Amino acid sequence: MQKPFAITLDVGSSLANHTGSWRTSRPVYLNRLPPCNHQCPAGENIQAWLFHAESGDYEQAWRVLVQDNPFPAVMGRVCYHSCEGACNRGKLDAPVGINSVERFLGDQAVSQGWKFAPPAPATGKSILVVGAGPSGLSAAYHLACQGHKVTVFEAGPLPGGMMRFGIPQYRLPRDVLDAEVQRIVDLGVVIRYNTKVSNVLEAKLQGGFDAVFLAVGAHIAKRAYIPAGDSAKVLDAVAVLRSMEGEDKPMLGRKVVIYGGGNTAIDVARTAKRLGATESIIVYRRNREKMPAHDFEVEEALQEGVMIKWLSTIKQAGESSITVEKMALDEKGFPQPTGEFETLEADSVVLALGQDVDLSLIEGVPGLTVEDGVVQVNPQMMTGHAGIFAGGDMVPAERNVTVAIGHGKKAARNIDAWLRGELYRPAAKSEVAGFDKLNPWYYSDAPKTVRPMLDIARRQSTFEEVQGGLDEGTALFEARRCLSCGNCFECDNCYGVCPDNAVIKLGPGKGFDFNYDYCKGCGICVAECPCGAIKMVAEDI
């Protein structure tokens, strides 16, 4: 009788332990781009500073943050935080309160007196920045950090641009803005106030500047033709908000009508309530779905007693009233007049129909092109005239503070490279760590922390800050809700689940490596990685 065929393996032999030849693909560690970082218009490395915040090292978190954005306390109040809309955590319970933690870090820096790191050695180059708004000050900060001498010409008496003259104090206290601007000045940036540039080429030549960054904000209000008698009080929203910075506050009366549907219209309506208006009514020609103002601002305005007349347009303004025509949406969703009219009492009418940029300073500049009221720039943010760059409201882009700050940083990097006769090339971006790359099984529910709100009565009668900030405990909790999308945080899952002991721990902060002699390419480590920091790649055969 034939004996059964059998093989006996020596557990110490290479055949028993070395399984690398079995693979058709191998796991590799990688760093994917977190969706919050990818979404941020200011280009912040959000995940990196959240990492330090969740360990309680708030100063280091702030220092990582300000490598990209010098205004965390401001941005923690006025940014519309699109990063949170992209946050993968939102598919589990609620997005990480990135904006809340940013504000906490910014406020900590102000209260603790943290200063920026010293700038690089002086380069001997001098740059003119026109406009002390978010884009201009961002560029000035980054250029100063690179060792350049920066002078800012500001037409107004105070810094901040639309951060000061377009955002009410109940959203952005002025002491917060002043503190963050002062840090930039402390780097050596010179701001010359009440200095309007009428001809940019002359200013560049007379000042001996090597390059110019144009960052003039959109401060000219757009107008609409509304028949009005001599006694009708028709104002523009920009002028109303700007006058709030002076000693003489605007006299709007008891019944105020605001014409428009953007965030500026909301700001004026809420300001009117705080100035004592019994009725603050927004007239908007479309419905709420088409209103450009952000939902949370609309909700806060409604809570404070602001009224909104949807599908309405102003036809005429009289001495103490306005005539409003009702609109109806056609089959394509566009508002059309109905011929139905209504009279509203109004002591004043405020137009909030958008703003334009004063481009008189660039008239006659060779090579510089203007289309649709904005300056055309190349991918390096340089205009058609060598050495003159532009950003913020002056160029084709969405107009908000975060975008403007990002423009300032991008322009500064390109100006620095241009001054050295080089071309700035940003590092290639990694693939985005989508939710499908994560293993959320390991994460428990942790509801988002809600920021405190000022009570309605005080919101209607004072300019105190409406939204409060987090304390240290809630900020720490919120930072720890981060999933570390796409980047290893050394949870040891791969090390624990590998059936072949092919994962090598390199030590704290150094991550892991694979011993491919023993890895058979089963992919368990990829499936079990919580943050999507491992992927399988085909073997070269």
- Cα dihedral angle (184, 407, 49, 164), rounded to 10 degrees? 50
Is the pLDDT assigned to residue 346 strictly greater than 50? yes
Backbone angles phi, psi at 495, to 5 degrees: -65, -40
Q: pLDDT at position 1, please?
A: 40
Which fold would CATH assign to domain 37-114+442-461+468-479? Answer: Fumarate Reductase Iron-sulfur Protein; Chain B, domain 2 (1.10.1060)
pLDDT band, very low/low/confident/very high, at 540 (cuts 50, 70, 90): confident
The pLDDT, as a whole number, for residue 15 is 40
Tens digit of each residue's pLDDT (9 = 90 or more) over 124-143? 999 999 999 999 999 999 99
User: Is residue 435 scored above 90 in pLDDT?
Assistant: yes
Nearest to 256 by CA among 268, 242, 248, 241: 268
Residue range(s) of every CATH 3.30.70.20 domain in the chain: 14-31+488-538
Write out the E strands in 196-334.
211-214, 220-221, 234-236, 255-259, 279-283, 307-309, 312-317, 321-329
Tokens of 503: 């994962």
Average of per-residue pLDDT across 489-515: 94
Higher pLDDT, 116 or 218: 116
pTM: predicted TM-score of the whole model, two decimal places: 0.91
Q: Report the percentage of the chain scoring pLDDT > 90.
A: 84
Per-position DSSP letters for 18-55, written without gaps between them:
--GGG-SEEEEE--PBPHHHHH-TT---HHHHHHHHHT
User: Which residue intervals of the chain bear CATH 1.10.1060.10?
Assistant: 37-114+442-461+468-479
Domain 126-219+357-419 has CATH 3.50.50.60: yes
Confidence of residue 21 (pLDDT cuts 50, 70, 90): confident
Please name the fold of domain 14-31+488-538: Alpha-Beta Plaits (3.30.70)
Residue 240 to residue 340: CA distance in whole angstroms: 31
Using the predicted structure, report yes or no on whether residue 26 has a pLDDT greater than 80: yes
CATH number of 222-353: 3.50.50.60
Residue 5 near residue 505 (C-beta atoms within 8 A):
no
Instruction: Write the CA distances from 205 to 41, 143, 200, 313, 418, integer angstroms.
Output: 33, 20, 9, 49, 18
Tens digit of pLDDT for each residue in 97-117? 999 999 999 999 999 999 999
pLDDT above 70 coverage of the chain, percent: 96
For the CA atoms of 470, 64, 45, 442, the dihedral, rounded to the nearest 10 degrees, stands at -60
Q: Tell me, what's the pLDDT at 273?
A: 96
Q: What is the mean pLDDT of residues 303-328?
A: 92
For the chain, give the mean pLDDT.
92
Please check the confidence at residue 4 and state whether its pLDDT lies above 60. Answer: no
pLDDT digits (tens, 9 = 90+) for 174-204: 999 999 999 999 999 999 999 999 999 999 9
Q: Residue 478 pLDDT > 70, yes or no?
A: yes
DSSP conformational letter for 444: P
Instruction: Specify the pLDDT at position 9.
Output: 37
Residue range(s) occupied by CATH 3.50.50.60 in the chain: 126-219+357-419, 222-353
**Given this model, what pLDDT does residue 7 score?**
36
